[in-house]
Amino acid sequence: MAAYSLVMNMFDDITRDSARRHFSQAQVDRYTNRALQEICERTRHLDEQELINAVASTLEYATTSDGYNIFRVEYDGEVLIPIARDKLRIGTTDYSSRTGTPRFYYLDEMNDSSGYQVIGLFPAPGTNLTNGIRVWSHAFPADVSGDALTTDIEIPDWAIGAVCYYVLSLAYTAETQIQDLEAAQMFNLLHEDILQRLIMRSRSKQPKKWAAGGAGRPTAIPLGKLPDRITE
């Protein structure tokens, strides 16, 4: 990962505003943190997990992480199947009072005043189990600040340009003496180019049933079957 100072150096070199005549450090920090949040929301390149204590007869659990988009829930090492709460109401009489070993999890109809994500298990755990629930979600990177320029930005080194270009596009859009909307558009296009590559790489890290490359066997496709490998 690259340090925040790399973004600041590029920003100062291009805008020639190292004296902070047009943009305060706080403004650049806001631009950078806005860039990081948008990049993570669009690429989902950063994952996190949290362990939660399972409580007997308790259906719902609030996470304490700052992530978003829960995509995997485990109970005692077993993967749970996602389900909608209306399916539980239709298929199970008094589903909320059922206890046992959870086999499903649901996310819909959930609210938490603190803004954290909430999950529900079905059936509710029959016993207490320390760290029995493991929740996987996509994560936001930690905020950066000009007070700590050596802090690493949680994004791959090769994609740091996406952050730099986004910050520059915001800077040249702002109403200052160096405003340049054409430059802002150019930097936005550069940002999008790197962003699309990061999206593709982030998605390709997931295991696939098919893999690119040579088949290692005759290329003829048996009738009614698809190849388990595809060509590049």
The answer to whether the beta carbons of residues 181 and 172 sit under 8 Å apart is yes
Could you tell me which residues come within 8 angstroms of residue 34 by beta carbon, excluding any fewer than 6 positions away? 166, 170
Strand partners, 82: 105
Q: At what angle do helices 160-173 and 4-15 cross, to 10 degrees?
A: 40
Confidence band (pLDDT; 50, 70, 90) for 214? Answer: very low
Portion of the chain with pLDDT greater than 70, in percent: 85
Neighbours of 111 (CB within 10 A): 5
Range scoring the smallest mean pLDDT among 71-80, 112-121, 205-214 = 205-214
Residue with the larger pLDDT of the pair 166 and 17 = 166
CA distance 3 to 149: 7
> Residue 135 has what pLDDT?
93
Each residue's pLDDT tens digit, 165-209: 999 999 999 999 899 999 999 999 999 999 998 888 877 655 444
Confidence band (pLDDT; 50, 70, 90) for 112? Answer: low
Confidence band (pLDDT; 50, 70, 90) for 132? Answer: very high
Range scoring the smallest mean pLDDT among 55-59, 138-142, 223-227 = 223-227
Range scoring the smallest mean pLDDT among 11-25, 123-137, 154-168, 195-209 = 195-209
Strand partners, 122: 104
CA distance 21 to 32: 18
The answer to whether the beta carbons of residues 123 and 100 sit under 8 Å apart is yes
What single DSSP character describes residue 64? -
> Residue 46 has what pLDDT?
82
What is the chain's mean pLDDT, rounded?
84
